[in-house]
Amino acid sequence: MPRAIVIRTSESAAAGEPVNTAVLEEVGAPPASDGPVLVDVAWSDLNYKDALALTGRPGVVRTPPLVAGIDLVGTVAASEDVRWRPGDVVVLNGTGLSETRNGGLTEQARVSGDFLVRVPEALTPARAAALGTAGYTAALCVLRLERAGLTSSPEQPILVTGATGGVGSIAILLLSAAGHHVAALTGREQEYGDYLRALGATTVVPRAELLGTGRPLQSQRWSAVVDTVGGEVLANAISQTRYGGTVTACGLAGSAALPASMVPFILRAVTLAGVDSVSAPLADREAAWARLARDVDPDVLDGLTETVPLAEAIDAASRLLAGGAHGRIAVNVRG
Q: How far is the CB of 49 from ligand NDP (least distance, A)?
A: 5
Radius of gyration over every alpha carbon of the chain, rounded to an integer in angstroms: 20
Find out whether 240 and 218 touch, Cβ atoms under 8 Å.
Answer: yes
Q: Smaller CB distance to ligand NDP: residue 88 or 227?
A: 227
Positions in 300-319 near ligand NDP (CB under 6 A): none
Tell how strand 18-26 and strand 3-11 pair up.
antiparallel
Positions in 115-134 near ligand NDP (CB under 6 A): 133-134
Q: Smaller CB distance to ligand NDP: residue 156 or 164?
A: 164
DSSP 176: H
Residues 6+ apart with CB under 8 A from 101: 34, 66, 95, 111
Secondary element (H or E) of residue 244: strand 241-249
Q: Smaller CB distance to ligand NDP: residue 229 or 296?
A: 229
How many amino acids of this chain bind ligand NDP (CB under 6 A)?
Answer: 30
Does residue 186 interact with ligand NDP by CB under 6 A? yes
Q: How far is the CB of 290 from ligand NDP (least distance, A)?
A: 18
Positions in 234-293 near ligand NDP (CB under 6 A): 250-254, 275-278
Residues 6+ apart with CB under 8 A from 60: 49, 50, 52, 53, 98, 99
Q: Binder to ligand NDP among 69, 125, 162, 264 (CB under 6 A)?
A: 162
Q: Binder to ligand NDP among 163, 296, 300, 317 (CB under 6 A)?
A: 163
Taken in order 37, 38, 44, 48, the sign of the CA dihedral is positive
Does residue 188 interact with ligand NDP by CB under 6 A? yes
Find out whether 153 and 328 touch, Cβ atoms under 8 Å.
Answer: no
Residues 6+ apart with CB under 8 A from 82: none
Q: State the distance between the two ends of the chain, measured CA to CA, in whole angstroms.
A: 15
Does residue 49 interact with ligand NDP by CB under 6 A? yes
Does residue 57 interact with ligand NDP by CB under 6 A? no
Does residue 47 interact with ligand NDP by CB under 6 A? yes
Q: Which residues bind ligand NDP (CB under 6 A)?
A: 47-49, 133-134, 137, 162-168, 186-188, 207, 228-229, 233, 250-254, 275-278, 320
